[in-house]
């Protein structure tokens, strides 16, 4: 079967910034291991595989399937509406995390895409000594807990005491993999509330070596969890969107807008197509 393959940068409208994702259409007939191999070949943190119904989407890293990937969701609906004929407006995406509401608003060549995530669930609060050594840091924001939070793909949220500490993080990869395995949660979303630019509520970095992603440049599902977490602990005004700036060690960055409706976050962003290819497989 002929399949179209797209490379898309999400949470940006500028080429070579934001978070890159692969998008494969149609995915009908591909076995799980084939999708793992294709995701590995494309080399992004995640690749989205869209069924011919233009509704069912699966997400794979280079080693496994994950229930939800928000930046690859933005990439998928950017491709669906700008390249594959899906109309703008409201849609329902079916993925391993459930059915999610998507709204695509026409904005020239870069439509604005909103993803309504699942209600945030709060889990275990961790003691600092479990996490700090693996992350290679020692300066926490003691006004907030290290906590498991999920809106469909769980993360451990780690509040750091300064932006400098966040920027300097050099995690012990194997220690972080072992810790994630023991917690049943491979992703660690580290953030600082230290202000560095107007209009930004938090700065963040995302590490998930246990799922095959050493560092993710811009992570929508983690940002949704963080937005509800910050609202719950009284750190942000929930009447307006929370803005999170995320940047990785290579300098790729993006801005994530999180609007809260109670414990339900909606992530909004745009994307840009880098290139398209085709394969017969």
**132 and 86 within one domain:** no
Same domain, 24 and 106: yes
Q: Are residues 30 and 109 in the same domain?
A: yes
Number of domains making up the chain: 2
Report pLDDT for 197: 85
pLDDT value at residue 138: 84
Give pTM, 2 decimals.
Answer: 0.94
Query: Within this chain, do residues 6 and 31 fall inside the same structural domain, yes or no?
Result: yes
Q: State which residues form the domain around 147.
A: 121-262
Q: Is 46 a catalytic residue?
A: yes
How many angstroms separate the Cα of 45 from the Cα of each of 8, 39, 174, 216, 252? 12, 8, 18, 7, 13
**Which residues are registered as beta bridge partners of 243?**
257
Same domain, 175 and 213: yes
pLDDT score for 109? 85
Here the CATH number for the domain that contains residue 214 is 3.10.310.10
Judge if 84 and 156 occupy the same domain.
Answer: no
Is the domain of 160 the same as that of 195?
yes
Are 244 and 179 members of one domain?
Answer: yes
- Cα–Cα–Cα angle for 70, 257, 210, rounded to 5 degrees: 35
Note the pLDDT of residue 237: 86
Instruction: Provide long-range contacts, Cβ within 8 A and 24+ apart, for 144-149.
Output: 144/233, 144/235, 147/122, 147/123, 147/229, 148/122, 148/123, 148/124, 148/183, 148/185, 149/120, 149/121, 149/122, 149/123, 149/225, 149/226, 149/228, 149/229
Same-domain check for residues 125 and 112: no
* Same-domain check for residues 112 and 130: no
In order along its 281 residues, the chain shows pLDDT tens digits of 999 999 999 999 999 999 999 999 999 999 999 999 999 999 999 999 999 999 999 999 999 999 999 999 999 999 999 999 999 999 999 999 999 999 999 988 899 999 999 999 999 999 998 899 999 998 899 999 999 999 999 999 999 999 999 999 999 999 999 999 999 999 999 999 997 888 999 999 999 999 999 999 999 999 999 999 999 999 998 788 899 999 999 999 999 999 999 999 999 999 999 999 999 99
Catalytic residue among 41, 46, 106, 215: 46
pLDDT for position 181: 97
pLDDT of 4 reads 99
């Amino acid at each position: 079967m002929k399949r179209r393959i797209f490379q898309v940068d999400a949470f940006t409208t500028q080429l070579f910034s934001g978070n890159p994702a692969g998008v494969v259409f149609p995915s009908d007939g591909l076995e799980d291991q084939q999708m793992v191999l294709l995701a590995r070949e494309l080399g992004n943190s995640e690749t989205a595989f869209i069924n011919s119904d233009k509704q069912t989407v699966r997400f794979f890293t280079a080693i496994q399937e994950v229930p939800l990937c928000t930046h690859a969701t933005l990439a998928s609906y950017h491709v669906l509406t700008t390249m594959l004929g899906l109309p703008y407006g409201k849609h329902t995406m079916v993925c391993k995390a459930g059915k999610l509401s998507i709204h695509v608003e026409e904005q020239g060549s870069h439509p604005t895409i909103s993803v309504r995530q699942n209600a945030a669930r709060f889990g275990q609060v961790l003691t600092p000594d479990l996490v700090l050594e693996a992350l290679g840091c020692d300066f926490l924001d003691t006004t907030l807990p290290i906590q498991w939070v999920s809106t469909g793909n769980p993360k451990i949220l780690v509040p750091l005491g300064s932006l400098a500490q966040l920027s300097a993080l050099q995690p012990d990869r194997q220690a972080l993999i072992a810790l994630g395995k023991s917690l049943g949660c491979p992703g660690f979303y580290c953030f600082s509330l230290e202000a560095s630019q107007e209009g930004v509520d938090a700065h963040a970095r995302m590490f998930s070596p246990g799922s095959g992603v050493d560092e993710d440049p811009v992570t929508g599902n983690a940002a949704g969890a963080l937005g509800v977490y910050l609202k719950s602990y009284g750190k942000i005004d929930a009447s307006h969107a929370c803005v999170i700036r995320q940047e990785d060690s290579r300098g790729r960055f993006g801005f994530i807008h999180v609007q809260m409706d109670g414990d339900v976050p909606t992530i909004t962003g745009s994307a840009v197509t880098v290139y398209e290819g085709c394969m017969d497989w």
